[in-house]
Amino acid sequence: MFNQRVFSGVQPTGNLHLGNYLGAIANFVRLQNRQTFECLFCVVDLHAITVFQDPSELRRQTREVAAAFIASGIDPDRSILFHQSGVPGHAQLAWIFNCVARLGWLNRMTQFKEKSGKDRENVSVGLFAYPNLMAADILLYKATHVPVGEDQKQHLELTRDTAQKFNNDFNCPDFFPLTEPLIEGPATRVMSLRDGTKKMSKSEPSEFSRINLSDSADEIADKIRKARTDPEPLPSEIAGLAGRAEAQNLVSIFAALEESTAEAVLARFGGQNFSTFKSALVDLMVARIVPIGTRMGQLLNDPGHLDRIMWQGAARADAIARPILAEVYDRVGFLAPIA
Ligand code: AQP
């Protein structure tokens, strides 16, 4: 029996990329294999619709994330793999958290500021309330740990604040845990291949900014060849990467793919030019990423199978969520069901 529980999710918004893999999915696999946590891995489709999604694309992309999880090594028998809309408790608890979290907290969220940009009056209410749904995702299962990339740290802090306020408001000091983020590995923030100061992202229009999990060996080689660098050779020590965002990014990616460290990579490539380093990086990336893309393609040929896996996972997740949500309803003061 596990006494610690992990929850994490990926949005089905298309273009799954190396950042999602190294910053999230590869860590999910490590946590599953550690066998100290009960793991729930979710395709967060409710989050995806905070920005309009074409309905048939959303279904395809939901299956694509499930396929990426499985192709990367998540075992749906050992972990609970499901789609968020398959468990009604996420939306139910999110509403309660909309009434617990404070407007001022959400106003401070930098991701909302970045995503809403100058067009703030026109974005959905859901995009603003997104962190409350994320808090609900986690606390619906009383998850103790959440593996995420660096970009989600602020949302995790809001989850802790919400848990604390609920516990205080309803006089139940230990009801919700104060969930810990697990921001691990050498690539918690993979940057764009075109601009080392911006994170690699699904929504960036340039295909050359990211490596997609579905990219072929030729596409990977082409993108890495064209990846921005600087004219200096690679340094032998970490300090020599200061002010060289693109070089730092490629070194971190190499270390993460190889499961070594930036120090080890520089010990090997220090003093060499980028063309030698890039060709070794292509070989490593192709060996690691292309088999995942191939397996994803095979899995996507049988959408019914993927749907069954997600619905079975949803039933298991729902069984954990129901008693927790029932207790929340009771504490808030909603009527108990009639026997
Ligand atoms: N560049 C990244 N480096 C490391 N981790 C990353 N993650 C995302 N980008 C990077 C991690 O991937 C997980 C799932 O992310 P998501 O699908 O929920 O959405 P996101 O973070 O909004 O992904 P994008 O690519 O950045 O999408 P857009 O372009 O829509 O904003 C999370 O754990 C995240 O940390």
Amino acid 2: pLDDT: 72
Report yes or no: 33 and 1 within 8 Å, Cβ to Cβ: no
Which of 134, 201, 249 best tests ligand 1's pocket when mutated (most atoms within 8 Å of CB)?
201
pLDDT in tens, 79-129: 999 999 999 999 999 999 999 999 999 999 999 998 888 888 999 999 999
Q: How far is CA 14 from the centre of its chain?
A: 13
β-pairing, 4-10 vs 80-83, is: unpaired
Given a cut of 70, whether residue 158 has pLDDT beyond it is yes
Amino acid 15: pLDDT: 84
Nearest residue (by CA) to ligand 1, atom 35, is 149
Of ligand 1's atoms, which has the minimum distance to the CA of residue 12? 17
Query: Any catalytic annotation for residue 115?
Result: yes
Question: Which of helix, strand or coil describes residue 22?
Answer: helix
- 226 C-beta neighbours (distance < 10 Å), count: 11
190 lines ligand 1 (CB under 6 A): yes
Amino acid 186: pLDDT: 66
Report yes or no: 281 and 250 within 8 Å, Cβ to Cβ: yes
Going from the Cα of 26 to the center of ligand 1, the distance in angstroms, rounded, reads 13
Given a cut of 90, whether residue 216 has pLDDT beyond it is yes
Question: Which residues lie closer than 8 Å to 338 by C-beta, 6 or more apart?
Answer: none
Q: For the whole prediction, is pTM greater than 0.85?
A: yes
Written as six digits, the tokens of 192 are 């764009």
146 lines ligand 1 (CB under 6 A): no
Which of 151, 156, 192 best tests ligand 1's pocket when mutated (most atoms within 8 Å of CB)?
151
* Integer CA distances (angstroms), 300 to 72, 122, 155, 232, in order: 14, 35, 31, 43
Given a cut of 80, whether residue 149 has pLDDT beyond it is no
Going from the Cα of 140 to the center of ligand 1, the distance in angstroms, rounded, reads 22
Q: What is the dihedral of CA 285, 258, 19, 192, to 10 degrees?
A: -70
Amino acid 227: pLDDT: 97
pLDDT in tens, 236-262: 999 999 999 999 999 999 999 999 999
Given a cut of 70, whether residue 276 has pLDDT beyond it is yes
Instruction: Compute the mean pLDDT over every residue in the chain, rounded to the nearest whole number.
Output: 95
151 lines ligand 1 (CB under 6 A): yes
Going from the Cα of 96 to the center of ligand 1, the distance in angstroms, rounded, reads 26
Report yes or no: 151 and 185 within 8 Å, Cβ to Cβ: no
State the catalytic residue, choosing from 165, 199, 223, 278: 199
Amino acid 314: pLDDT: 98
**Window from 83-92, 201-210, 297-306 with minimum mean pLDDT:** 201-210
Q: What whole-number distance in Å separates Cα of residue 263 and Cα of residue 140? A: 40
Q: What whole-number distance in Å separates Cα of residue 163 and Cα of residue 175? A: 8
Question: Considering Cα of 296, then 302, then 307, then 310, what sign does the dihedral take?
Answer: negative
144 lines ligand 1 (CB under 6 A): no
Closest CA to 201 of 115, 132, 116, 135: 115
Q: What whole-number distance in Å separates Cα of residue 277 and Cα of residue 268? A: 9
Nearest residue (by CA) to ligand 1, atom 2, is 19
The domains located in the chain, with CATH, are 5-188+302-332 (3.40.50.620), 207-298 (1.10.240.10)
Taking phi over 0 as left and psi of -120 to 50 as alpha, with beta for the rest, 259 belongs to left
Mean pLDDT of 284-311: 98
State the catalytic residue, choosing from 153, 165, 202, 278: 202
Question: Which of helix, strand or coil describes residue 81?
Answer: strand
Of ligand 1's atoms, which has the minimum distance to the CA of residue 150? 35
Going from the Cα of 211 to the center of ligand 1, the distance in angstroms, rounded, reads 13
Query: Any catalytic annotation for residue 153?
Result: no
Amino acid 1: pLDDT: 64
